[in-house]
Amino acid sequence: MEFGPLSDMRCVVLGGGGFIGTHLCRKLKGKVAGLKAFGRRQSFPEVLKDVDWFQGDFNDPSSLAAAIEGCDVVFHLVNATTPASANVDKVADVRLNVTGSLQMLEVCRAQNVKRVIFASSGGTIYGIPEILPTPEDASCWPLTSYGISKLSVERYLHLYSYLYGIDYRVVRIANPFGPFQVASKNQGVIAAFLRRMLSDQPVEVWGDGSVARDYVYIEDVADALVLAAKHVGEDKIFNIGSGVARTINEVIESLETVTGRRCRVIRREGRMVDVPISVLDVGRARQSLRWEPQTQFEEGLERTFRWLLQK
């Protein structure tokens, strides 16, 4: 499917009030023909004051329809659970995320949406990886209901493309971090650790700190989502990460360097939901999407730290 320039697109960001959504709206503002944001709440309403805001519940089709009406491109960033909480109530996870996404796709079908861009999870969807760094065509055996739900939505996107011609792109995001991450859902170790260090509180580490993750700066994630909206080509699924694995212990060392403060650590027993290592192969995004991470890890930490100090 051929797509025109970004300036011709009428877009809606579902989950626009959250961490990734806030950055994406900032990135799209003034560059697209129309921009709406939809969600239950705005974490930073001052940032979205020039964006048409639609307050509503993702699982309410009528609210969704009002937000999606007239849009060509839908960014689906909504997720009602976390990797840890999803396993506690798997039925609710499926109802809120998978069924909710199916209802959204029905609305997109009725509204003649051209393309859906879905924020999937590069950190959970592969489970214990067979290949490192992990490419998009690796086996997907998630260890959390959260990852299974993400994978299910990816498969439904393919089905709706096949049956009804709704184009899509999937962006499998590693572990994003940066300004506007509030860590209120116990997601985002960098945001959580920084806030605790600034208030002289200890951080909790599950296991011995050897768990390694791929951390990617939020501005680079927003760039990838925009590129996915206008991508032309056969590829539909893209890993978005740094391509570098960092252990929790290494992250703590970097945070101590950036803040000039000591991080007090409380060790907890390791969790089954935490795969030992997750790092993404971003070669496809580099070649097909013309994307690669621009922000060095330490630079991203510095920016995040400076933003927190101003709050």
Average pLDDT over all residues of the chain: 93
Lowest mean pLDDT among 3-12, 15-24, 32-41, 153-162: 3-12
Give the model's pLDDT for residue 35.
97
- pLDDT tens-digit profile of 94-126? 999 999 999 999 999 999 999 999 999 999 999
- DSSP 8-state symbol, 45: G
Q: Could you tell me which of 240, 228, 252 has the C-alpha nearest to residue 279?
A: 240
For residue 187, CA distances in Å to 80, 212, 293 come to 12, 15, 21
The mean per-residue pLDDT over the stretch 124-136 comes to 96
Residue count of the chain? 311
The mean per-residue pLDDT over the stretch 180-190 comes to 78
More confident residue, 219 or 80: 219
Lowest mean pLDDT among 11-25, 72-86, 125-139, 148-162: 72-86
Whether the per-residue pLDDT at 200 is higher than 80: the answer is yes
Beta bridge partners of 121: 173
Angle between helices 189-198 and 248-259 (to 10 degrees): 40
Question: Sheet harboring 237-240: ordered strands across?
Answer: 52-55, 34-39, 10-14, 73-76, 115-121, 167-173, 237-240
Whether the per-residue pLDDT at 14 is higher than 70: the answer is yes
- pLDDT tens-digit profile of 237-275? 999 999 999 999 999 999 999 999 999 999 998 887 788
The mean per-residue pLDDT over the stretch 183-196 comes to 82
Whether the per-residue pLDDT at 2 is higher than 60: the answer is no
Lowest mean pLDDT among 156-160, 176-180, 181-185: 181-185
Give the model's pLDDT for residue 1.
44
pLDDT > 90 fraction of the chain, expressed in percent and rounded: 84
